[in-house]
């Protein structure tokens, strides 16, 4: 399956069925096919050859996403660009990935104008919604081109190059093949409920998880409802209006949704599968979601290098056979997918037995082809014949995967290993805590001390000593934070992940300046 085959498969099931919906406008499968044919011909006429890299820079937008299929139909490689990045980071990505073309929304025209002078490999700029002084307007660019079917075979199986988060250095280009996306889509369709023609609501960025989750939905002829900007009230309204069956949110937005005033009265009975992932979720908040949202929560664990479905927990696996909530599983990342090999490994490359904690490693056709033009990083990630995720975890006797921390976030205090995720899970059981981050800071006595930074629910207050006692009662004094900070909000990446490096830097500044 090539990337464009998911669109064509959906069109075979009903060319007039709605494919992409935004606001009051629908694009049918036939409409999106016609756009993809014209975009492919436009790229050809502009000198973009099969194998060339074409970037899309836009917030969630139906036409921007339709262009992805035109890129694939031309045999080119899709490079999703995060519009929330700074211009300097996106310039680096466009140059490092050898992008020959950028298709962008006019909202980002100032960014493109700022970047283009430093991008000598860039040959074509196209603005989606209006002409720009330095770029052709979409309609003008496609003028005179027909929308007859077009199929160009790519020179290899490379479908897209996705940038890593860049939180630990310059972003790397993850090469994802058609086989990678096919495996991800197969796992999605095997592991989660899909009853009838799905209707999928995309609030999270289509440049990330929300985008590739569209592929299995389209393979079933489903509708993708696109939200241009995050709005949880509108999110709930759209679930009702379009009888949404599937959606995805990261934990931070789920926490906010659980506090939303409209949740209690929203009609959510159409939901079959509410995916969560991209960061660890609080087991306490997840149990709350099973009550307030419904028995439809579905976990996925993956990373850019092995997209989405390293392990999965379907809605029914959140419950025991007698219908009670399976509380012991709620802090797990589900079971490894049936098309993925998952193990834990020690620092010498030895695979560990069930129950032992080590780095989570993965093998199979879900794993990337490598990092673009970075053989050293590719070899490092794939040492000992397995892809190294950088996450520390264990597999229990029932096959459930428990992620205990990122390798770089483990805290060694008084000679004991403390995993920040375990402390965060305890903190999130406190009724006043909305979100939390746990880090280690240098300490003369302990080597490192456990530090908790909390974001409280609106209007709440807590005393640090009460938080310390709360955690101690649950997981012991060694893991209880020695320092508790209350912040109005936690710093987050462009995709909503808490930036522990920024928290650490902020807390170290007073000590360094004193």
Q: Which pLDDT band holds residue 165 (cuts at 50, 70, 90)?
A: low
Q: Which pLDDT band holds residue 385 (cuts at 50, 70, 90)?
A: very high
- Is the pLDDT assigned to residue 415 strictly greater than 90? no
Token pair for 19: 């494919």
User: Among residues of the chain, what percentage have pLDDT more than 70?
Assistant: 97
Q: What is the pLDDT of residues 55-86, one digit of tens each?
A: 999 999 999 999 999 999 999 999 999 888 88
Predicted pLDDT of residue 109: 95
Q: What is the pLDDT of residues 239-255, one digit of tens each?
A: 999 999 999 998 888 98
Q: Indicate the CATH number for domain 28-176.
A: 3.40.50.980
- Is the pLDDT assigned to residue 150 strictly greater than 60? yes
Q: Write the CB contacts of 221 (distance below 8 Å, at least 6 apart in sequence).
A: 9, 10, 11, 13, 14, 17, 29, 197
Bridge-based pairing of strands 53-57 and 77-81 is: parallel
Predicted pLDDT of residue 442: 86
Q: What is the pLDDT of residues 489-502, one digit of tens each?
A: 999 876 677 888 89
Domain segments of the chain as ranges: 28-176, 230-406, 410-513
Q: Write the CB contacts of 247 (distance below 8 Å, at least 6 apart in sequence).
A: 200, 201, 202, 203, 235, 239, 271, 273, 274, 275
Q: What is the pLDDT of residues 96-140, one digit of tens each?
A: 999 999 999 999 999 999 999 889 999 999 999 988 889 999 999
pTM of the model: 0.84
User: Among residues of the chain, what percentage have pLDDT more than 90?
Assistant: 75
Q: Which pLDDT band holds residue 167 (cuts at 50, 70, 90)?
A: very low
What is the distance, to the nearest Å, from the Cα of residue 491 to the centroid of all Cα atoms in its chain?
A: 17
Predicted pLDDT of residue 495: 66
Bridge partners, residue 21, by sequence: 26, 225
CA distances from 393 to 245, 334, 390, 419 (A): 32, 12, 10, 10
Q: Indicate the CATH number for domain 230-406.
A: 3.40.50.12780
- Is the pLDDT assigned to residue 510 strictly greater than 70? no
Predicted pLDDT of residue 169: 58
* Least confident piece of the model among 11-15, 169-173, 341-345, 509-513: 509-513
Q: Which pLDDT band holds residue 443 (cuts at 50, 70, 90)?
A: confident
Predicted pLDDT of residue 168: 46
- Is the pLDDT assigned to residue 513 strictly greater than 60? no
Predicted pLDDT of residue 464: 92
Separation of alpha carbons 11 and 218, rounded Å? 9
Q: What is the mean pLDDT of residues 209-229?
A: 94
- Is the pLDDT assigned to residue 212 strictly greater than 50? yes
Predicted pLDDT of residue 512: 54
Q: What is the mean pLDDT of residues 404-417?
A: 76
Predicted pLDDT of residue 281: 83
Q: What is the pLDDT of residues 290-325, one digit of tens each?
A: 999 999 999 999 999 999 999 999 999 999 999 999
Token pair for 66: 């339709």
Q: What is the dihedral of CA 113, 115, 116, 117, to 10 degrees?
A: 100
What is the average pLDDT value for the chain, to the nearest integer?
Answer: 92
Predicted pLDDT of residue 198: 98
Same fold, 28-176 and 230-406: yes
Q: What is the mean pLDDT of residues 215-229?
A: 97
Predicted pLDDT of residue 419: 77
| Burial of 454 from C-beta contacts in 10 A (0-12 / 13-18 / 19+) | buried
Q: What is the mean pLDDT of residues 185-205?
A: 95
Separation of alpha carbons 109 and 21, rounded Å? 24
Q: What is the mean pLDDT of residues 387-396?
A: 94
Q: 410-513, what's its fold?
A: GMP Synthetase; Chain A, domain 3 (3.30.300)
Indicate the helix (H) or strand (E) that contains 446.
none
If you ran DSSP here, which 8-state letter would residue 135 be given? Answer: B
């Amino acid at each position: 399956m090539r990337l464009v085959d998911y669109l064509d498969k959906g069109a075979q099931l009903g060319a007039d069925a709605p494919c992409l919906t935004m606001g009051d406008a629908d694009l049918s499968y036939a409409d999106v096919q016609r756009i993809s044919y014209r975009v492919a011909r436009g790229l050809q006429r502009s000198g973009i050859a099969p194998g060339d890299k074409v970037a899309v820079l836009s917030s969630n937008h139906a036409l921007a996403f339709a262009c992805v299929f035109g890129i694939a139909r031309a045999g080119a490689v899709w490079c999703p660009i995060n519009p929330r990045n700074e211009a300097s980071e996106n310039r680096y990505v466009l140059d490092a990935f050898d992008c020959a073309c950028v298709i962008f929304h006019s909202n980002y025209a100032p960014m493109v104008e700022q970047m283009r002078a430093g991008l000598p490999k860039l040959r074509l700029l196209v603005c989606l919604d209006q002409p720009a002084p330095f770029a052709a307007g979409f309609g003008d660019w496609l003028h005179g081109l027909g929308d007859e079917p077009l199929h160009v075979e790519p020179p290899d199986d490379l479908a897209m190059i996705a940038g890593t988060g860049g939180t630990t250095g310059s972003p790397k280009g993850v090469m994802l093949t058609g086989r990678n996306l096919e495996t991800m889509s197969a796992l999605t369709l095997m592991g989660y409920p899909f009853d009838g023609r799905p209707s999928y609501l995309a609030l999270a960025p289509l440049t990330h998880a929300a985008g590739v989750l569209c592929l299995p939905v389209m393979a079933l002829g489903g509708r993708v409802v696109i939200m241009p900007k995050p709005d949880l009230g509108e999110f709930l309204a759209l679930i009702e209006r379009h009888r949404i069956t599937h959606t995805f949110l990261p934990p931070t937005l789920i926490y906010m949704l659980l506090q939303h005033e409209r949740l209690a009265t929203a009609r959510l009975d159409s939901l079959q599968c509410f995916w969560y992932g991209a960061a660890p979720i609080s087991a306490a908040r997840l149990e709350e979601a099973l009550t307030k949202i419904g028995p439809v929560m579905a976990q996925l664990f993956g990373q850019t290098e092995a997209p989405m479905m390293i392990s999965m927990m379907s809605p029914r696996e959140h419950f025991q056979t007698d219908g009670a909530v399976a509380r012991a599983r709620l802090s797990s990342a589900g079971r490894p997918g049936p098309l993925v090999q998952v193990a834990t490994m020690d620092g010498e490359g030895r695979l560990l037995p069930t129950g032992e904690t080590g780095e989570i490693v993965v093998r199979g056709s879900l794993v990337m082809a490598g990092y673009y033009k970075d053989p050293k990083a590719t070899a490092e990630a794939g040492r000992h014949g397995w892809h190294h995720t950088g996450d520390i975890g264990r597999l229990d006797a029932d096959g459930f995967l428990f992620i205990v921390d990122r390798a770089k976030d483990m805290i060694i205090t008084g000679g004991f290993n403390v995993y920040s995720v375990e402390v965060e899970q305890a903190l999130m059981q406190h009724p006043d805590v909305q979100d939390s981050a746990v880090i280690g800071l240098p300490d003369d006595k302990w080597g490192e001390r456990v530090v908790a930074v909390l974001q409280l629910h609106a209007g709440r207050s807590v005393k640090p000593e009460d938080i310390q006692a709360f955690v101690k009662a649950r997981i012991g004094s060694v893991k209880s934070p020695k320092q508790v900070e209350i912040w109005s909000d936690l710093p987050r990446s462009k995709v909503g992940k808490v930036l522990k490096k920024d928290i650490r830097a902020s807390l170290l500044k007073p000590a360094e300046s004193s």
